[in-house]
Amino acid sequence: MKQITTYTDKKVLVLGLAKSGVNAAKLLKRLGAQVTVSDVKPLAENQDAQDLQAAGFTVITGEQTADLLDAGYDLMVKNPGITYDVPAVKRAQELKLPIISEMELASEVAEAELVAVTGSNGKTTTTTMVQKMLAHDRQAGKSVYAGNIGIPASKVAQEVTADDTLVLEVSSFMLVGTTEFHPHIAVLTNVFSNHLDYHKTRANYVAAKMKITANQTAEDYFVINYDTQEWRDLSKLTAAQVVPFSRQDVTEDGAYEKDGDLYFKGEKIMPASEIKVPGDHNVENALAAIAVAKIKGVSTAAIVAVLRSFGGVRHRTQFVLEAEGRQYYNDSKATDMEATEMALKGFKAPVILLAGGLDRGYTFEKMIPSFKEHVKAIILFGQTAKLLEDTAKQAGIKTIKMTENVETAVPLAYDLSDEGDIILLSPANASWDQYPNFETRGDLFIKAVEQLTGQQEEK
Angle value at C-alpha 330, between 325 and 331, nearest 5 degrees: 130
Query: Is the separation of the CB atoms in 111 and 161 below 8 Å?
Result: yes
What is the residue-wise DSSP string for 105-150?
HHHHH--SEEEEEE-SS-HHHHHHHHHHHHHTT-SSS-EEEEETTT
Give the rounded distance of the alpha carbon of 402 from its chain centre: 32
Enumerate residues 6+ apart whose C-beta is below 8 A from 361: none
Q: How far apart are CA 14 and CA 437, in angstroms?
A: 27
Q: How far apart are CA 276 and CA 302, in angstroms?
A: 15
Q: Which helix (H) or strand (E) is 99 found in, with range?
A: strand 99-100
Report the b/e string of 395-431 with b at 16+ CB within 10 A. bebeebbebebbeebbebbbebbeeebbbbbbbbbbb
Q: How far apart are CA 286 and CA 132, in angstroms?
A: 12
Nearest to 129 by CA among 342, 338, 321, 302: 302
Enumerate residues 6+ apart whose C-beta is below 8 A from 208: 172, 173, 175, 176, 199
Q: How many Cβ atoms sit within 10 Å of the Cβ of residue 195?
A: 15
The reply to whether 120 sits in an annotated binding site is yes
Please name the amino acid found at residue 25: A
Q: How far apart are CA 451 and CA 315, in angstroms?
A: 18
Give the rounded distance of the alpha carbon of 260 from its chain centre: 26
Determine phi and psi for 119, rounding to 5 degrees: 150, 160
The reply to whether 125 sits in an annotated binding site is yes
Query: Is the separation of the CB atoms in 424 and 351 below 8 Å?
Result: yes
Count Cα atoms within 13 angstroms, Cβ side, for 177: 29
What is the residue-wise DSSP string for 234-290?
HGGG-SSEEEEEESSS--TTSEEEETTEEEETTEEEEEGGG-SS-SHHHHHHHHHHH
The reply to whether 177 sits in an annotated binding site is no
Strands in 261-264's sheet, in edge-to-edge order, are: 143-147, 165-169, 113-118, 185-188, 221-225, 241-246, 255-258, 261-264, 267-271
Q: Which residues are annotated as a binding site for ATP?
A: 119-125
Q: Which residues are annotated as a binding site?
A: 119-125
